[in-house]
Amino acid sequence: MATKFLLTFAICRLIVTVGLTLDPADLLRLEVEGQLSLEPADVAMASRDFGGMQSAEPMAVLHPASAQDVACLVKSAYESALGFGISARGHGHSINGQAMTTNGMVIQMSGSRGSRLGSGKPAPPRVSEISMYVDVWGGELWIDVLRSTLEFGLAPKSWTDYLYLSVGGTLSNAGISGQAFNHGPQISNVYELDVVTGKGELLTCSKKQNWELYDAVLGGLGQFGIITRARIALERAPKRVRWIRVLYSNFSAFTQDQEYLISLHGQAQKFDYVEGFVIVDEGLINNWRSSFFSPRNPVKISSLNADGGILYCLEITKNYHESNAETIDQEVEALLKKLNFIPASVFTTDLPYVDFLDRVHNAELKLRAKNLWDVPHPWLNLFVPKSRIADFDKGVFKGILGNKTSGPILIYPMNKNKWDEKSSVVTPNEDVFYLVALLRSALDNGDDTQSLDYLKHQNRQILQFCEDEGINVIQYLPHYTTQQEWKRHFGDKWALFSRRKMEFDPRNILATGQRIFTPSINPREPSW
C-alpha cells in the first residue's frame, strides 16, 4: 500500500512538473518493489553520461529491485496507448547519450540503493565452483563481479580495461581488452542471459533456448532487450602478473610483433594480454613508464629515432601462480627474444592480478583529484582492417593528429575467429583487425588543440580520411544520427537486425538514445 501511494504521488508530480504525455493509469498499474524517483539528483544523473557532450532529461528514474520491476515498467510502456521510451543505464559510461531518453523513463540498473530498498535489492553475484560460472545482475559492475569470483579463486576470462562498467552495458556492445585475442570479447564468454524484451517479456536465452534473442542481445546496443542476468564463464584466477612495456620506432615492426603474439592464442607459451598505444608527443613518453618507475631522466622522442616523430608502445602481460613463479623469467625472456623492439626500452613490474585488472581506476582517482575526470570525452573507437592499418598510421597518427594529444591512443589487434558472427556486432571482414581507440579529453585550458570543438572536428577529419582512402573502418561503440548511416554500419546484417527489432521491440521502445529506430511515440526534442 505504501509503495502504491508513493507511486501515485510521483505520477502526480510528473503531471505537474514535466507535463506527462502518457496516461497516468499506465503507471498506476505498476507493482514494483523498487523506487520510481523524480528527485532532481536522480533525474540529473540520468540526463548525462561520461561523454559530457549531450543531455536529455527523462521524466523519471526507476531504481529496480528485481527483473520483475524492469519487466513491469517495460510492459507498461509497450501496452500504453500513448507510449514512452525506456533506457537502461548502467554506470553511465556511454559517450554520445546512448543511455538517455526524453519523454520516457530511465531504469538505473547500477547502484540500486540497497539501504533504501532493503530486501528488494537485486541479487548479488552467485558463483558455481563446479560449473565454473557466475550469475550476475545486469547492472552489476565488473569490479564487483571480480571481487565476488576471487573469493573462490576464479575470475572471468575476458575484460574491459576499465572495470567500473556494468555487465549489461558491456555485453550490449562487446566488451574488449587485451585478452580478446585469446578468449574473444566478453560476449563470447556468456553462457546464458535473462532478458526483458520490448514487449515486457522476461525470457531466459542461450545458444539452445530462445537462441535468436540471445544472438540479437549480445552486441545489440540495447535494441532488443534489457539484460537482467548474465551467466559468465570463469577460469582459475592467477595470483600475479608480469606487466611489460617496450617501445618501437618503426610501425611495421610494431604491428608485425603484435600480430605474431596474437597468433599464439590457445598455446601455453604466449602472453596473456596484448595491447599497445601510440605516443605522439614528448609529454606522454615519460608517462608511458610512470606505472613502473618514476622517470628521473626524461626521454626524448627524437633520441629514439622515432618514425615520423611517433613512438609505439607494446604492452603485454604474463599471468602466473606461486607454482610457476620460478619459471616466469625464462618464459618471458623466450617470448621477448622473438620481438623487434628498441633495445634497452624494456620496463617491467610485477603486481597482484586484481591490481593489474583495476589499473585504470588508479588513473581515474588521480584525474578526479585534479578535476580532470568530469570533462567532455569526444572518444572515437574504430575497428581497422589489418590490410589498411599502415595506411591509417600514415594518414592519422603521422598526419591528422600532429604532435599533440589529450589522452591515450590505443591500438591492438584481435582475431576474428574469436568473435561469434551470429551476434549483432559488426567487425571487419578480415582474419585480423585492429582496435584504434582515441580516448581523449576536452580541456578548457586555453589550448585550442585540446578544446571540444577541435577534437570533434579532428574526429570528423579522421572518418573523412578513411572514407576518402577507402579504409573500411567500423565504429566500435558506434554513434550515428541517421538510419541511413546505421544501415551502412550494419551492412549485410541490417536486414536481420531490423527484423529482430520488429520481433522483440515492435514499438521501438528500448534504447531510443542510440537513434537507430524512431519510437512510436511523440518525444520532446532532446538537447542534442
Which residues participate in catalysis according to the annotation? Answer: 93, 161, 275
Q: Which of 36, 436, 439, 464 is nearest to 255 (CA)?
A: 436
- Say if CB 158 and CB 171 are below 8 A apart: no
- Say if CB 106 and CB 99 are below 8 A apart: yes
List beta partners, residue 348.
244
Q: What is the Cα–Cα distance from 334 to 350, expressed in whole angstroms? A: 18
Q: Which grid coordinates belong to 291?
A: 606505472
Q: Which grid coordinates belong to 347?
A: 620496463
Q: Which of 251, 246, 245, 247 is nearest to 307 (CA)?
A: 251
Q: Which grid coordinates belong to 264?
A: 599464439
Q: What is the Cα–Cα distance from 418 to 290, expressed in whole angstroms? A: 33
Q: What's the per-residue H, E or C state across 210-240? A: CHHHHHHHCCCCCCCEEEEEEEEEEEECCCE
Q: What is the DSSP letter of 92?
A: -
Q: Which of 68, 9, 75, 78 is nearest to 37 (CA)?
A: 9
Pairing of strands 225-236, 133-137: antiparallel
Q: Which of 71, 101, 102 is nearest to 226 (CA)?
A: 71
Q: What is the Cα–Cα distance from 172 to 182, expressed in whole angstroms? A: 20
Which residues, in sequence order, are CB contacts of 411 under 8 Å at separation 6+?
Answer: 276, 277, 278, 312, 434, 435, 436, 437
Q: Which grid coordinates belong to 155?
A: 575470475
